[in-house]
Structure 1
Amino acid sequence: MALLSERVLSSGEKTSLSEALAGQVLTGAAFHHAGLTGVHRETVEDSFRSGKVKILAATPTLAAGVNLPARTVVISSYERYEAGFGRYPITVLEYKQFCGRAGRPRYDKFGESLLIARNADEAEWLMENYIIAKPEKLWSKLAVEKVLRPHVLSTVAAGYARTEEGLYEFFSRTLYAHQYGPRLIKGKIGDILRFLCNEEMVLMEGKELVATKFGKRVSELYIDPESAVTLRDGLYNRAKRLTDFSLLHLIAKTPDLAPRPRPRGKETESLGLLAVQHGGEFTFDVPEEFEDPMAYEEFLSELKAAQVLEDWIEEHTEDEILEARKVEPGDLLRLVQGSEWLVFAAQELAKLFGHKDLLPPLGVLRVRVSKGVKPELVKLVGLEGVGRVRARMLFASGLKTIEDIKERSLTELTSISTIGPALAKRIKEKAGGLIKADEWERAKSAKASEVEQQVMLTDYEDTE
């Protein structure tokens, strides 16, 4: 278990979350939620499957999306926190889904599921309303416009429907139309089709529907057409002073990045001040607080998302961001992953609409958002095995370019914490350096192959 714990600590940036996970793994337990990095999730899942981890505390994401059965499933409460509602009862369907994880094929003849009650009355209520209750009926979510818009566009772009009537006929065969009747979905499709035509994603030539170049590219990017309109208009509008913060706010404004982190307590005041400090950097008009309070509240939410992303690309540690911005690990991970794709989408739309001057800054910003680094590390993090922490350590050690790494010996590379001989060899090869047999032997003998424990990003400052 010590090796497993070390693997957790040496994977990615060292945070209070990774330290807590490493500590639990030592005892044969672990936790799993949306805030874990991909490497940590994989480590936890593999260890639980193999039996090294005996107890796993998890959020509903594990029960819903990963095939990870257990001998016994314990559900500590029938309630879960829902934003805007507080603690809210889960559905019977979700409860049954949790229970379905009990029992491992090939190992157990049966599985056990425990639902915890606080008293005898609650136990009786849970028996009636969950354990012996029938699951709720499934209802289609297709009528939600955010869900339906990309489907209508892709149906036209892919040629599955070539006329308005063909579009109605195509969607009349969906579960939604079966449940609610074709007339209701016809009205929604008509509204969306008018939106797509007005925004020049779809042309109506007589009775024929044709996707424009804009519409086809948006469909290929798998983003909400409304997000595409926001990005397109933002690229055309430009800010008086275009900065990385301008682009981050533009990304945060799109529906695809929702739900955005909400301002808490005194953050409303500090975010208002932030808006003043970045005056002239916004690609859209800032709403007035008292003229349109709802729009202003939404703007502050966009601003907070942009602020979190700016912290990330300025190499603030995860712990610093979580503490200062009052966001959860899962929120940070979702923001980073969603924003990376939206920056790429903005880059592709900039190509389409001829904004050649924006391609370099968008290209750099995409890497910065993906890796969480300042501009000087963009090329270094392109090397295999080099993340934001190792890139900063390389830079601080004087290895500031790919050429610098190419010219250094393996022994010099392995003198940097967390870089063992095998990784040093891989990094130098990716940088285009040649490695002689005697150099490889010297590197192996100079430092053991075990990877040292990861360190905090803030332990390595630039040495200019």
Structure 2
Amino acid sequence: MRVAEAVPEFADAFGFEEFNRMQREALPAILETDENVVASAPTASGKTALAELAICKTLRDGGTALFVAPMRALTNEKEAEWERFESLGYSVYVVTGERDLNPRRAERADILVMTPEKADSATRKHDSPRYQFITDVDCCVIDEVHLLDSDERGGVLEVTVSRLRRLCAPRVVALSATMPNIGDVAEWLDAPPESTFAFGDDYRPVDLHAGVKTYTHGDNSFADKYRRLYRALDTAEPHVREEGQALVFVSSRQDTVQAAKKTRDELAERDVPIGARGDYDFHTDAKELSNDTLRKSVLDGVAFHHAGLSKGDRDKVEQWFKEGKISILFSTSTLAWGVNLPARCVVIRDTKYHDPLDGETDISPLDVLQMLGRAGRPGYDDVGYGWVICDRSEADKYRRLLREGKEIESRLAADLDSHLNAEIAMGTIRDLDDVMSWLDTTFYAVRARSKPEEYGYENLRERVRDTLESLVDGGFVETGEDLRIEATTLGRLASKYYLRLDTARRFADLCERDRITTDAVLEAVAGAVEFRSVSARSNEADAVDSMLVGTDTDLEDGPRKVLAILRAAMTGSTPADLRSDAWVIRQNALRLLAALREFLDRFSGPDAANLAARVEARVEHGVSRDAVGLTAIDGIGSGRAGTLATGGLRSPADVLDAGTAELTRAGLTEGVAERVVESAESLPRIEIEWGAFPDSVATGENEMREVTIRNRGGGVRAGIRVTVNDVEMTTKTCYLSDETTIPVGVFGGTSDEMEFTVSVAFPELPLLPVRDSRSVVVE
């Protein structure tokens, strides 16, 4: 069947002219009905075209399509691929983070592209103007629906799809690699038998021969990597000698580079005839690569690929591999889920990887099958070869996986309390009947019916009731006399920031302290459940100790390491031994600090929230306490903040007083200086005017005065606090756009002198509080 016959108005949206056998069989259900569709098919059999057909039908019917991609890297890839739809007059919009979201573009888009996490966030906030677009989705295409079985992300995908179906009831088209229990997924999504397709291995364009190779595990993990590398090269070498290509998956970006370096030397010793050093044009093209190591490697027929490379370098590597110029390519798992880059031989060198948050972790069975599915080049090979290299003790586990496949399980139970709390916080669950109705919409309930003993189906409803009671006992949910269920402020904040509930409780406990310090803020975050599995390696101990000199903490092991990394981040100087995990830990800590800031704002007040805002900014930018206020100005990061602070400019007000001329003398270009001054003008500039405030007061007398707080800059939410001899008298929180007054009672107390202090703190900005004092003599 030709594309132009099936979808004539969208013929230019496809990169080929004819549908293959698998696509032809699924086409009528996708194009000619409105039923939900579930289709599983081997990797490289053309599932993407099914997604595109579903999108074409939605666009033809005047609707909006949502494509849920398993990884962020793939959302960007789809944006580039689907320029074909743009050329037909349809708009494609990739929904990224909160800060970068353009609600108008999202609302007008014909095709939305999101990860499960972004879709979860959007559906949670669907009633806000920024995210209302999510309720207009007419068709939701789930790419790689077997992600449901992911420990980390499966629960998110499950509740998001269930929630989306309750919000706007879109048509759902779910695609997957081969899965034995496709019937359960079809039952969950209400896909009838006539639109449920389980395409077997006979639909693979190239047969797959998959097996396990073992090695003997030693005491030294570094030496083990090389044992596995030599095993991988032994496996790949015969194919490479026959002008085939090998794709070798390793556990980290750094390992792709190190393995490529070692492989170049090893292949030269073995005299394996690969490389293109005599190809003048290729030699010239390779000079354009921005990565030095990659530039040297590709000429010897060896390359590496990971998400940290520039897009230009990644594109060139993919192109050259497709053209056969690269014989052995080392990659992280991104290639398994993303680019269609098949090879005659696929080797999984590493079955474990180091996760900064969870320590040593087994690669998921889904990833293993996804990687091996890349073996075999359609049109070039009759058979593809896939190998897993593992320790002898794990060989049977992987042989069983290759023989039987992997049923998709629900991972909802692991975080049932968090997901149930989120539904209650959104208002989609209002009573116990709603709880049970929600449960019935989940894949969890389907699997429990399918495997009643393993999932404890008989006790399922009781377990959900117990979870609900635990939310009430924990202060996340409250119940009324009419048995209605409602989220508390604590529950809503936990949902808003995707917090584990133990972490939310920990933050709430901090808010109850009389005095909150920088150390307390850092310790609350470092001790969060999200960091509980962080591993502390023995070679990191000295670096951790050096960062915590003089710090009194009860944290141990991984959380203690997290605390050290956060302290180092505040100074902008992370020890070399801690850098490998520092970026991931810091990014997660910034999310938790933002959450803690709002907790403190709600439960402790603006001063505590402002302290958390300054800690957050220092962790993000690595600046001193004196320079942190400068980071509130757009265009000023850590380097410029440090430079300006050294020159005596420590606040937006100082920057405005200095003007563009002074900033250019400090090293900023004129254009940057102008933008910095313009941004500083939008920030608050506070003056405290005491008016007719007395210098003295008689003992026992009491008189009221008014102090004016004037803002000559941009409007801001502010907390105003008046203390007398360090004892709080008056507080006021308001939006300060120009000026406000606050009454101050001047009284003659028992002290000889009364010190009145007015402070203005900014709960949402990292600006130092503005303070001023007056002394009143008691006569």
TM-score normalised by length of structure 1: 0.64
What percent identity do the matched residue pairs reach? 19
Once the 2 structures are TM-superposed, how far is the Cα of residue 358 of structure 1 from its aligned partner? 0.3
Tell me, in whole angstroms, the C-alpha distance in 2 between the residues paired with 1:273 and 1:382: 26
Tell me, in whole angstroms, the C-alpha distance in 2 between the residues paired with 1:217 and 1:305: 23
Task: Map residues 173-188 of structure 1 onto 2, 5 A cutoff.
Answer: 173-181=441-449, 182-188=457-463
Q: Is the 8 A contact 2:346 2:374 kept in 1?
A: no
Please point out which of 564, 567, 572 is paired with 1:310: 567
Secondary structure of residue in 1 paired with 2:479: strand
Q: 1:140 maps to which residue?
A: 410
Tell me, in whole angstroms, the C-alpha distance in 2 between the residues paired with 1:52 and 1:173: 41
Q: 1:370 maps to which residue?
A: 620
Once the 2 structures are TM-superposed, how far is the Cα of residue 396 of structure 1 from its aligned partner? 4.8
Q: 1:440 maps to which residue?
A: none
Please point out which of 655, 658, 673 is paired with 1:402: 655
Once the 2 structures are TM-superposed, how far is the Cα of residue 397 of structure 1 from its aligned partner? 6.3
Tell me, in whole angstroms, the C-alpha distance in 2 between the residues paired with 1:31 and 1:391: 35
1:348 aligns with 2:614: no
Secondary structure of residue in 2 paired with 1:392: helix
Q: Is the 8 A contact 2:526 2:562 kept in 1?
A: yes
Tell me, in whole angstroms, the C-alpha distance in 1 between the residues paired with 2:544 and 2:616: 27
Once the 2 structures are TM-superposed, how far is the Cα of residue 312 of structure 1 from its aligned partner? 1.0
Residue segments in structure 2 that go unaligned for 5+ positions in a row: 1-253, 259-289, 321-325, 450-456, 681-779
Which deviations, in whole Å up to 9, do the C-alpha atoms of 1:331-353 show, x marking residues without a partner?
A: 21221111111111111111221
Letter in 1 for 2:497: L
Residue segments in structure 1 that go unaligned for 5+ positions in a row: 1-16, 34-40, 287-297, 435-464
Secondary structure of residue in 1 paired with 2:403: coil
Which deviations, in whole Å up to 9, do the C-alpha atoms of 1:140-188 show, x marking residues without a partner?
A: 11111xx222211112122222222321231133122222244443343
Task: Map residues 318-337 of structure 1 onto 2, 5 A cutoff.
Answer: 320=575, 322-323=576-577, 327=578, 329=580, 331-337=581-587
Which deviations, in whole Å up to 9, do the C-alpha atoms of 1:263-282 show, x marking residues without a partner?
A: 5379399869959x434xx6
Tell me, in whole angstroms, the C-alpha distance in 2 between the residues paired with 1:85 and 1:428: 45
Task: Map residues 33-432 of structure 1 onto 2, 5 A cutoff.
Answer: 41=308, 44-51=310-317, 57-60=330-333, 62-63=334-335, 67-70=338-341, 72=343, 74-77=346-349, 79-81=351-353, 90=363, 92-100=365-373, 115=386, 129=399, 133-144=403-414, 147-181=415-449, 182-206=457-481, 207-237=483-513, 242-262=516-536, 264=538, 267=541, 277-279=550-552, 286=554, 299-317=556-574, 320=575, 322-323=576-577, 327=578, 329=580, 331-396=581-646, 402-403=655-656, 406-408=659-661, 412=665, 416=667, 425-432=671-678
Tell me, in whole angstroms, the C-alpha distance in 1 between the residues paired with 2:312 and 2:459: 46
Q: Is the 8 A contact 1:379 1:402 kept in 2?
A: no
Tell me, in whole angstroms, the C-alpha distance in 1 between the residues paired with 2:376 and 2:635: 38
Secondary structure of residue in 2 paired with 1:237: coil
Once the 2 structures are TM-superposed, how far is the Cα of residue 366 of structure 1 from its aligned partner? 1.3
TM-score normalised by length of structure 2: 0.41
Kindly indicate which of the two structures has a greater share of residues assigned to helix: 1
Q: 1:24 maps to which residue?
A: 293
Once the 2 structures are TM-superposed, how far is the Cα of residue 374 of structure 1 from its aligned partner? 2.1
When residues 134 and 348 of structure 1 are mapped into structure 2, their CA distance, relative to the original with a 3 A threshold, is: same
Q: Is the 8 A contact 1:140 1:176 kept in 2?
A: yes
Q: 2:694 maps to which residue?
A: none
Q: Is the 8 A contact 2:536 2:558 kept in 1?
A: yes
Q: Is the 8 A contact 1:261 1:305 kept in 2?
A: no
Q: Is the 8 A contact 2:413 2:444 kept in 1?
A: yes
When residues 431 and 137 of structure 1 are mapped into structure 2, their CA distance, relative to the original with a 3 A threshold, is: same
Q: Is the 8 A contact 2:621 2:637 kept in 1?
A: yes
When residues 304 and 78 of structure 1 are mapped into structure 2, their CA distance, relative to the original with a 3 A threshold, is: closer
Task: Map residues 428-439 of structure 1 onto 2, 5 A cutoff.
Answer: 428-432=674-678
Which deviations, in whole Å up to 9, do the C-alpha atoms of 1:402-430 show, x marking residues without a partner?
A: 337743378646xx5xx7x5xx5235313
Tell me, in whole angstroms, the C-alpha distance in 1 between the residues paired with 2:373 and 2:461: 37
